[in-house]
Structures are given as structure tokens and as C-alpha cells.
């Protein structure tokens, strides 16, 4: 009997790229509020999502240092399960409700690519870095205090896709005053058989459900963000026209479910 939540399937089930849920996460985040061309943002929305006119092209660019564990002590196998991510969340409306949608995503790990695609995050492979905050004090420690400065970057295929910096100014008591929109993603798996080429095998709008979602040490401050024009890519179409606040915080949640909002395959 072949076992595994993902390929490769095997009798022992140990080769699977990622185990089945529940998936547990803790992370450090740098999230930068900005405004892109509202028309470019609107052009990225899948069917059923409408532009959020009140957002005027508002989006957040995230850099995330993740630690993942499942049910098999994955937290002690960082070579396989620790990873980094960068993604964009653009604001939209779903049946009038304020939501986010994720049109671009990068990770540096194959177990993460797999979980991303299963959830509808359109992950490509990249190299992501963010300044970390270390406990032992020095000029290199980047402590979580007013004035502390953090940098972050994402590169894919040797091209710098985004570069950011933030400088902490004030602690935020309630993260949900900033991060309150649920996130929608598009689960998508293509067909290749010539007889089925008119569309994908899987095409759904899904909702990110985060169990036990926690934020810690949420700080806000000034920010810089650049999304340079890159040949062969188009994420720069939603480059910042204006940059808002930057946020640095810890976050944790688990994943056990992924509600399907719309099935685009009739």
C-alpha cells in the first residue's frame, strides 16, 4: 500500500515532500504597507473578487522566516522544514467583504513549495533574507526596540525582486488593527493531456484558515520598499507608488482546513 500525503508515495511513506495536516508554524515577519497602481492590482484579481475601491491599490509585501512542524518532530529537522518566504497580499472585496488575495509568492524550500501550491499560494523558488533580532546585545543584534533597523530582500533566478528596510518606532497593541483581512488564494493545477488542454485540472478560490492565530511583539515604523523591473517577470507591475508603514512581529498558527469558496471548473 502506497503511503504519503504528497508525492513521492512509497510503502513507508517517508519520502513525501510534506506530511499531511495539521501543520504548525511559528515565524518572524516584516510586512510593509504600500500602494500600487490600483488598475494593476485589480488586473491580478481572479473571478469573483472585486477591487476594493476604498483601498486605492493598497497592498502588503511580506518577508517571513518560518519554522514548520507536523506530527513527526519536524521542528528538529531544520534542513528539511525551516524556510523563508516572501509574498504580496493585495486588497480586494469578496461579495462586499474585505479580503486579501495573494498573487505572488516565493519560498526557498521544496516542502514549502508543495504546501504553498496545495493551499493556492503561487510559490516560485527564491532566496529570501531578513535581518534577525538576536538576544545577545551588540551592534549586530537588531533588538526589538525603538530605532532598530531591519532589512529584507527576495531574489529569484538571480534577479532581485524586492528590497525593503524598516525602522521601528512604536509598539502596536493589537495586530488585528492592522492585519484583519482574511486571505484568499487560487488553488491551480494544470492539465497536460492534449484532450484536456482547454483548462486546468484544479482551479478553485480558497480561504486561508489560521487556527490559533497569534501575534507577538508587534512594532510599526517607517519603511522603504522597491520592486525593480525584472525582465521575464511582471511582479513589478505592482511596484510601490507610495510606501506606508512597516511592521515587524512574530506570528504563529496552525493549518487543518482550507475552505473552498469557488470552483472555477464548471
According to the binding rule CB under 8 A, does residue 48 interact with its own copies? no
Applying the rule CB under 8 A, the residues between 54 and 83 that interact with its own copies are 65, 67-69, 73-80, 82
According to the binding rule CB under 8 A, does residue 248 interact with its own copies? no
- Smallest gap from Cβ 204 to its own copies, in A, equals 9
According to the binding rule CB under 8 A, does residue 266 interact with its own copies? no
Between CA 19 and CA 136 the distance in angstroms is 35
The residue among 156, 96, 152, 94 whose CA lies nearest residue 126 is: 156
Applying the rule CB under 8 A, the residues between 106 and 135 that interact with its own copies are 109-110, 113, 117-119, 122, 124-125, 127, 129-132, 134-135
Sign of CA dihedral 264, 254, 174, 139: negative
Sign of CA dihedral 228, 121, 97, 253: negative
Residues in the chain, overall count: 266
Applying the rule CB under 8 A, the residues between 148 and 187 that interact with its own copies are 149-155, 157-160, 165, 186-187
According to the binding rule CB under 8 A, does residue 253 interact with its own copies? yes
- Smallest gap from Cβ 182 to its own copies, in A, equals 15
- Smallest gap from Cβ 97 to its own copies, in A, equals 20
- Smallest gap from Cβ 92 to its own copies, in A, equals 13
- Smallest gap from Cβ 178 to its own copies, in A, equals 15
Applying the rule CB under 8 A, the residues between 4 and 33 that interact with its own copies are 5-15, 17, 21, 24-28
Nearer to its own copies, 244 or 250 (CB): 250
- Smallest gap from Cβ 225 to its own copies, in A, equals 13
What is the contact mask toward its own copies in residues 181 to 220, using x (rule: CB under 8 A)? Answer: -----xxxxxxxxxxx----xx---x-----x-xxxx---
Which span sits near its own copies by CB under 8 A: 53-61, 92-100, 101-109, 176-184?
101-109
The pairs formed by 129-135 with CB atoms below 8 angstroms and a separation of 24 or more are 129/63, 129/84, 129/153, 130/28, 130/30, 130/63, 130/65, 130/84, 132/28, 132/65, 133/28
SS3 annotation, 61-84: EEEEEEEEECCCCHHHCHHHHEEE
112 touches 123 (CB < 8 A): yes
According to the binding rule CB under 8 A, does residue 255 interact with its own copies? yes
Between CA 171 and CA 166 the distance in angstroms is 14
What is the 8-class DSSP label of residue 25?
E
Amino acid at each position: 500500500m502506497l503511503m504519503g500525503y504528497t508525492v513521492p508515495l512509497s510503502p513507508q511513506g517517508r519520502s513525501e515532500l510534506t506530511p499531511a495536516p495539521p501543520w504548525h508554524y511559528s515565524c518572524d515577519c516584516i510586512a510593509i504597507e504600500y500602494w500600487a497602481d490600483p488598475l494593476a492590482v485589480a488586473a491580478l484579481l481572479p473571478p469573483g473578487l472585486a477591487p476594493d475601491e476604498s483601498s486605492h491599490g493598497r497592498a502588503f509585501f511580506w518577508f517571513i522566516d518560518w519554522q514548520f512542524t507536523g506530527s513527526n518532530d519536524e521542528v528538529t529537522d531544520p534542513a528539511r522544514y525551516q524556510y523563508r518566504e516572501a509574498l504580496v497580499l493585495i486588497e480586494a472585496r469578496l461579495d462586499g467583504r474585505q479580503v486579501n488575495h495573494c498573487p505572488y509568492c516565493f519560498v526557498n524550500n521544496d516542502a514549502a513549495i508543495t504546501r504553498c501550491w496545495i493551499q493556492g499560494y503561487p510559490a516560485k523558488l527564491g532566496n529570501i533574507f531578513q535581518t534577525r533580532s538576536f538576544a545577545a546585545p551588540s551592534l549586530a543584534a537588531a533588538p526589538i526596540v525603538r530605532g532598530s533597523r531591519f532589512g529584507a530582500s527576495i531574489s529569484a533566478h538571480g534577479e532581485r525582486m524586492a528590497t525593503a528596510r524598516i525602522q521601528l518606532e512604536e509598539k502596536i497593541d493589537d495586530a488585528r488593527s492592522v492585519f484583519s483581512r482574511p486571505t484568499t488564494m487560487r488553488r491551480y493545477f494544470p492539465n497536460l493531456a492534449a484532450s484536456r488542454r482547454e483548462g486546468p485540472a484544479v482551479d478553485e478560490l480558497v480561504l486561508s484558515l489560521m487556527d490559533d492565530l497569534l501575534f507577538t511583539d508587534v512594532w510599526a515604523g517607517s519603511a522603504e520598499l522597491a520592486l525593480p523591473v525584472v525582465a521575464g517577470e511582471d511582479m513589478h507591475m505592482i511596484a510601490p507608488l507610495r510606501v506606508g508603514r512597516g511592521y515587524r512581529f512574530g506570528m504563529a498558527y496552525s493549518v487543518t482546513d482550507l475552505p473552498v469558496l469557488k470552483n472555477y471548473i464548471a
